[in-house]
Amino acid sequence: MAVAARGGAGRGLRVIADIDETEAGQGASAQTSRLRHIIEHIADLDAGTSDGQIDRVWSATYELTTTPVDLDLTALTSQLDGSTVGIAELTGIVVTNDEAAGAGDVQVGGDAASVLFCAAANDTILVKPMGILALSAPSGYTVTNTTADVVQIAASTGTITCRIMLYGRSA
């Protein structure tokens, strides 16, 4: 499997949080104050198996229920050609909860054999309705076959549409 740049440019995770805070002044000569809060994170990842590089990527859309889905990172199926995609170091997770406000959460993690992107294997991260989780670790989280090779996803209640992308390195 080869991971190639789209259009020749770098690929990776680009996150921009850009929010304006304003406060209207008082009186006839009042000025409106504005403060811009911005965090921009761009992790361009070259092809390869060293820190800051990736050579494996996988994504899917799920209609989740409360029955957990265990994504075994050592045996994901490629959407491109049906081959097995094995991730030995997980460098990124992106998960969306595509449901409207008031729906349930997407639970990420929680399996005893989870890759340790949380403090403990059984910990979970909740992705709220209309939310996104973007986790980038260019140095990677180690995937250990049978003991730390799972990313588990589940709905907290009902049925929830989620999209997930996992990327990393084969070695």
CATH classification of the domain holding 97: 2.60.120.770
Number of structural domains found in the chain: 2
- Mean per-residue pLDDT, 155-169: 96
| Across 119-126, average pLDDT | 91
Checking if the pLDDT of 122 tops 50, the result is yes
Average pLDDT, the chain: 88
In the three-class reduction of DSSP (H, G, I as helix; E, B as strand; rest coil), residue 106 is classed as: strand
- Which whole number is the average pLDDT over 107-121? 91
Instruction: Say if residue 21 is in the same domain as residue 102.
Output: no
User: What pLDDT does 140 receive?
Assistant: 94
pLDDT of residue 2: 53
* Structural tokens at position 55: 């050579």
Task: Judge if 35 and 93 occupy the same domain.
Answer: no
Among 120, 42, 51, which residue's Cα sits nearest to residue 89? 51
pLDDT surpasses 90 at 111: yes
Q: 17 is in which domain, residue-wise?
A: 6-44
Answer yes or no: is pLDDT of 61 > 60.
Answer: yes
**Around Cβ 171, how many Cβ atoms within 10 Å?**
10
Residue pLDDT, tens place only, 71-81: 999 999 887 88
Q: Are residues 31 and 106 in the same domain?
A: no
Give the pTM: 0.84
